[in-house]
Structure 1
């Protein structure tokens, strides 16, 4: 069975759904797309199917200039694949968010992690400095890892490389491909090895010391709340924009879920605003460090939230991860992994969503 998330939904024919990040972001993407079409010349080093050599690739640049935690984590399967295909290579990364340094810390193959500001036009000196640094190096391979990303296309076109691979150069075949799998499949396509084995899982590569710290933090948080040693479930009741579910929805969901799965100790993961969205009735945990949060979630063992970056962080651990999906497309964004699931909640009924989540968790328990 391929390591893709399962999908539970209320209907068999769902309309196509796309992320909603606001009108300003939409216009920025349109401007960047226009620049990419009109100012970037067609590259002469672009590789097609089977045209990338399997040896002689030592220096690699991966371009994914996106500030979102989830999109950063979706690159980890590509890094695992590069390790396997080119074990002696070094990979530089071009990102656009502060989380990249933390997320990729566990990968020995990562050399330099260059970061563009998410509002590059407002910080021209920093942007020019990063792009000059990019232009000063020579690579054997540059990978534009985000299909349809104009900023990624511009950055990869500026890099000096013998070979350039664009994820969107690979033909679309079959159903929608998960965003974690598509760069891996594109690399295999360029090597002439498409369809060769399962795509690697998301992996933040926690160390043993980090796992111990996560377990210690969980024990500290639950010191007076879990004397019976019940299974632990971490819930992050927050997300951005239209993906965010109301506080009342979450309270009804938690109550129904507990009624269906029995004794479980819930821990609420609190967002940066410090506000509880589960009514303050459960122990809480907050950290601004993605790796500390990942180790805490793994120690808990089960994680539930709407579609968000923390959901992908949980999927990059050994925790069973459940994502609740409304406006976004689970075919592209579901929590990646065998025991993980995307559960539809677009009908607005927390009780029905809890019923579907409970059914999935019970299946996972029976299989263990």
Structure 2
């Protein structure tokens, strides 16, 4: 997959900035001990604008809840549309957003900085090593302890740095290595899957809007990860050949409401937490490597992810009842059979 030029240039500029700042503001690799019992207010910083990357913080968030059961946890995200995903989780106090356009309004930025300062955080956690936005924000926000990853030539304005876990492959599980800053905590001591804690009450509120015994499909994805509609039509056809009782619902991107097929019901929902509650009422969810794939898995619905260009080792589904399928050199018939086989296994979980 060829990376767009503007992304390549942005990464190179970010790398240069990190290198320069790391020289001026070196990390203290021998910090004083942390008074863990005093931590009552926590801020997690992940200024990102993609659904998947925000959902990848949920293993860390749930680990922090387990480690600090009486603490209030705030979070800083990028896009405002991702706020509902996190603010409905237990023990999450408030979710702030830092949309790109906010940079055009310096007074609003200063107001936000003042509010965060007045929150008197005991702990700030920055789970992304190479995010310039996160590093700058971590530098500017006041907190007694600041925990994040360390690597040479990377600007990390921290009080307690954890070596970057090169031995952990999946991007959602790497942040769990930060829990070692709070004692003898290994990543294996915490849940290793995405979970936004959709409640039974949230599911019940939308259950009447969802057809019973249905499988959701989501066809949109970014760039080369997108699978064309003709392929999806062929997949639905092959699945119905194997099992004529299957019912599908076409989950539409709010910005692209063209249905796959007239006789397949559709669903469009802008509020991501409400969408997650609806997906939680489905028997299964089939999609490419995209944000809604992680949303479905985080909603505890059996998720079948189709990987066209990216690696499931880094970005795949994580729950036992999920399946990450690499499409390379496989026919639609083969993939349909693998999906049916997995759906039969999923029934055993119920």
- Asked if 1 retains the 8 angstrom alpha-carbon contact of 2:192 and 2:318, the reply is no
Which of 161, 167, 172 does residue 165 from structure 2 map onto?
Answer: 172
Question: How far apart are residue 33 of structure 1 and its match?
Answer: 3.4
Give ranges in structure 2 of 5+ residues lacking alignment.
151-161
Does the 8 Å contact 2:239/2:337 carry over to 1?
A: yes
Question: How far apart in 2 are the matches of 1:304 and 1:259?
Answer: 17
**Which of residues 187, 199, 202 in structure 2 aligns to 1:207?**
199
Q: Does 1:61 align with 2:61?
A: no
Q: 1:187 aligns with which of 164, 179, 189?
A: 179
Deviation of 1:304 after TM superposition, in Å, equals: 0.7
Calculate the aligned-residue CA RMSD, in Å.
2.7
Q: Give the match for residue 153 of structure 2.
A: none
Q: Is residue 63–residue 190 contact of structure 2 (8 Å, CA) maintained in 1?
A: no
Aligned pair 1:218/2:215, yes or no? no
Check 1:128–1:38 CA distance in 2 against 1; reply closer, same or farther (3 A cut). farther
Over 3 Å counting, the alpha-carbon distance change for 1:255 and 1:52 in structure 2 is: farther
Moved more, 351-360 or 233-242: 351-360
Give the equivalent residue in structure 2 for 1:344. 326
* 1:43 positional shift: 5.7
Find the residue that maps to 2:303 and give its secondary structure: strand
1:316–1:101 CA distance, 2 compared to 1 (3 A): same
Point out where structure 1 has 5 or more consecutive residues left out of the alignment: 1-16, 220-228
Instruction: Answer whether contact 1:344 1:353 (CA < 8 A) is retained.
Output: no
Q: Does the aligned pair in 2 maintain the 1:232–1:267 contact within 8 Å?
A: yes
2:304 corresponds to 1:304: no
TM-score using structure 1 length:
0.82
Shift of 1:262: 4.2
1:6 aligned partner: none
- The answer as to whether partners of 1:32 and 1:151 remain within 8 angstroms in 2 is no
What is the distance in 1 between the residues matched to 2:29 and 2:328? 41
Q: Residue in 2 aligned with 1:32?
A: 14
| 2:154 aligned partner | none
Q: Does 1:143 align with 2:125?
A: yes
Return 186-195 or 338-347, whichever deviates more: 186-195
Query: Which of 197, 202, 225 in structure 1 is aligned with 2:189?
Result: 197
Q: CA deviation at 1:277?
A: 5.1
Counterpart of 2:59 in structure 1 is: 77
Structure-2 separation of matches of 1:288 and 1:345 = 29
Aligned to 1:10: none
Higher relative contact order structure (alpha carbons within 8 Å, sequence separation ≥ 6): 1
Per-residue CA distance 1:154-209 (angstroms, 9 max, x = gap): 211222223222145434353x4322222123213552221552425322222333
Partners of 1:86 and 1:59 lie apart in 2 by 10
Q: How many residues are treated as equivalent by the alignment?
A: 338
Query: Is 1:266 aligned to 2:259, yes or no?
Result: no
